[in-house]
Amino acid sequence: MFDFLSSNGYHAQIMRKLPTSGTIEIAPSILSADFSRLKEHIDLVAKSVKMLHLDIMDGHFVPNITIGPIVVKWLRPHFDLFFDTHLMISDPIKYAPEFVKAGSDGITFHLEAVSDPAATIRQLRQLDISVGVSIKPGTTVQALEPIVADVDMVLLMTVEPGFGGQSFIPESLDRCKNVKKMLRDDQRLQVDGGIYPDTAKIITQAGADTLVVGNGVFGQPNRDNPAAAVNHILNACIS
Ligand code: DX5
Ligand code: ZN
């Protein structure tokens, strides 16, 4: 299905690599950004981070609808950031090529959305991108075991996917420790939902190294200074 991709110029653009593991990275989620001035809002934080988190929702896998590839395409030329694309959609394989064509550097799919995760990973690999797999709070971490060795990143949801601004689920701490035990040093462990300085500190102690932050970066009271919010969260992690 994807054989045509490498030969028709899809990758004429630069493909950015997931930051090498061993660091704590913040991936601001544009879900909480001001979409009336989206580029300008991201500009305020772009020099402080390496990754930008793009939440894609289809109103089917989750009860909310967000953005499609066209927004990725318009943002792409303005930012030299790793476009970390979280597909909360029922058919990731159908839409992943369009996101890659638009400029996504990494695609994370939901384990719950696909019947054959190993095949999904193989198909995503053909797109020559970083591949992540995500699980919702109600999915057992053991469900990752058959395929965890084959991904670059695991995304552990620390809220129910679908909306920003929710509270961190405390049971995520033990789940994070258990996922961490499954990973090699070169794989990232990302968490997403309810991350602020306090939860960032405890979840990084539990093994997370890649923190998606929406409201905590782009929401109030940090709306006009998201870079300061990023620094505050990073400082909390090392204090
Ligand atoms: C939720 C999304 C998150 C969301 C996190 O389904 O996957 O990326 O933006 O938002 P906060 O940080 O506000 O909980
Ligand atoms: Zn997300």
* Helices 226-238 and 197-205: angle between axes, nearest 10 degrees: 40
* Ligand 1 closest atom vs CA 215: 13
Whole-prediction pTM value?
0.95
For the cut 50, the answer to whether the pLDDT of residue 193 exceeds it is yes
For the cut 60, the answer to whether the pLDDT of residue 7 exceeds it is no
174 labelled catalytic: no
The residue whose CA is least distant from atom 4 of ligand 1 is 164
Per-residue pLDDT, averaged over 85-108, amounts to 98
The tokens 């919702």 sit on which residue? 136
In this prediction, residue 14 carries a pLDDT of 80
In this prediction, residue 12 carries a pLDDT of 54
192 labelled catalytic: yes
User: Are 113 and 147 contacting, i.e. CB atoms less than 8 angstroms apart?
Assistant: no
Q: How far does the chain reach from its first CA to its final CA, in angstroms?
A: 48
97-119 as b/e: b if 16+ CB within 10 A: bebbbbbbbbbbbbbbbbeebee
Per-residue pLDDT, averaged over 164-170, amounts to 97
Ligand 1 centroid to 94 CA: how many Å?
23
Question: Percent of the chain scored above 70 by pLDDT?
Answer: 95
In this prediction, residue 239 carries a pLDDT of 87
For the cut 60, the answer to whether the pLDDT of residue 178 exceeds it is yes
